Structure 1
Amino acid sequence: MMQIIIFTLNKKYYAFSSESVEEITKKMPWTAIPQSPKWVQGLINLRGNVITLINFYELLFPTDVSEELCYNNIIIVKKDEEKLAFMVDNVAWVTEIDPADIQELEHQAEDKVSGLIQVKDQIVNIINMETLFYKNEG
């Protein structure tokens, strides 16, 4: 079994594997970074750690006209020693899934969604953590 954290973004459901998630926090002030990519919202200071805050909607849908998102939570994810903070609307729930139930998508290397799974009558997009950290290293 695998534990996932399901959250909403613009009325759609997405999930991170919980092993990548360090913590979930409420929204907090950030400092903008000049000349940063559009999907970098800024930097947050979480108990003395400065972490890049990613506007997840801009990262997933860079061509969409970005409405003002009503984000309420920040999910801090960690890979090795690197941390990223993702703005999400709301954390919906945490649940266990069988990885065999994930419908793999035919994907290109840079795809941000690796698969789909149905949870509680909702189609949930499983986020590909590898591409998130890879994209951020540019």
Structure 2
Amino acid sequence: MGEEVKVIVFALAHEEYGVEVEKVRTIERMQPMTRVPKTPAFIKGVINLRGVVVPVLDLRGRFGFAEAEYTDNTRIIIVAVGDIEVGLIVDSANDVIDVDTDAIEDPPEIVGGIKAKYLRGIAKIGDDRLLILLNLSEVLNKSEIIQLEQIEE
């Protein structure tokens, strides 16, 4: 057994994804957003989270999936990327699990239509469960982070 990493599991387009707990600030219910002009379509806008303006993007749109209706299960996972916080809209946030780092394999070139650069790896959990771990710094690439920082100002 290697080290374990705590991961928040969330659903997106019928797949399970994970992001390390230490990168997650909070998980929020959907709330009204203020649209920001001249941003990519997957950036849905900004929310005021306890006095902090946080840009929010739809992960479905980020990865080129069909948009889905938001439901009672839809969540905004607030993550920290570098020194900015960003909200990621996901279909649902399910649980927190421990993943053995030995069970994480390098991602193939494309998983479920998502390019490998967005992925940290694929974790095998038990006999029949695969968890796609996101590489947050690539999900928000540098130029987008600069755009998001400008939103915050």
TM-score band (shorter)?
A: 0.7 to 0.9
2:135 to 118, 121, 128: 128
- Structure-to-structure mapping, 1:37-76, within 5 angstroms: 37-61=40-64, 64-70=65-71, 72-76=74-78
1:29-77 C-alpha deviation (Å, 9 max, x unpaired) = 101111210110110110111000011101012xx44343546111000
Q: 1:83 to 1:26 in 2, by over 3 A?
A: same
Aligned length: 136
Q: Structure 2: which amino acid aligns with 1:45?
A: N
Relative to total residues, which structure has the larger helix share, 1 or 2?
2
1:137 aligns with 2:145: yes
What displacement does 1:106 show? 4.9
Stretches of structure 1 that go unaligned for 5 or more consecutive residues are none
**1:24 maps to amino acid:** I
Q: 1:129 Cα shift?
A: 1.5
1:88 aligns with 2:96: no
TM-score (norm 1): 0.87
CA RMSD of aligned residues (A): 2.1
Q: How much has 1:114 moved relative to structure 2?
A: 2.2
Q: Which has the larger radius of gyration?
A: 2
Q: Would you identify which runs of 4 or more consecutive aligned residues in structure 1 move more than 6 Å?
A: none
1:12 paired with 2:20, answer no
